[in-house]
Amino acid sequence: MKAKVIFLGIAILLGGIVWSLPAQAETLSWNAVTTYTDGSSIGSASVTYTPVWSTSSSLASPTALGTSTTATSRAFNITTEAMPRGSTIYFGVRATVGGVASAYSSPLSWLVPTVAPSSPGNLRVQ
């Protein structure tokens, strides 16, 4: 019987701007979990990941970054996620195997980039 607590060997990385979408997206990625806390291999067991973000470095009151996934990256949109531009937020990811979830990874801090708004359109004198 494997240990029920998963060692989350996750290193999360932020980068990779996806330009293929009409609106710019960022991508959060992390390394796949490979072992349990006792060091034994997870093997072929299905691992789902739950990425979250929070304005707290302790990941208090985290906001899910989409739904859980077996993928090791997640594209997101700053505005859609209502992330506070100009502020530092923290990402974390936890893994779940067989219904048992790990603790969150060490938080990754990220300064939400600021971007100037577009100029008003259709300026006219009436």
Minimal distance, residue 49 CB to other proteins, in Å: 25
Minimal distance, residue 72 CB to other proteins, in Å: 24
CA distances 10 to 93, 111, 112, 120, Å, are 8, 20, 22, 43
The sign of the torsion formed by the CA atoms of 110, 56, 102, 7 equals positive
Minimal distance, residue 48 CB to other proteins, in Å: 28
67 or 126: whose CB is closer to other proteins?
A: 126
Minimal distance, residue 88 CB to other proteins, in Å: 13
Q: Which residues bind other proteins (CB under 8 A)?
A: 22-24, 77-80, 85-86, 114-126
Q: In degrees to the nearest 10, what's the CA dihedral of 67, 42, 97, 75?
A: -10
* Residue 78 in tokens: 């700053």
46 or 118: whose CB is closer to other proteins?
A: 118
99 or 121: whose CB is closer to other proteins?
A: 121
Q: Which of 47, 49, 44, 50 is nearest to 63 (CA)?
A: 50
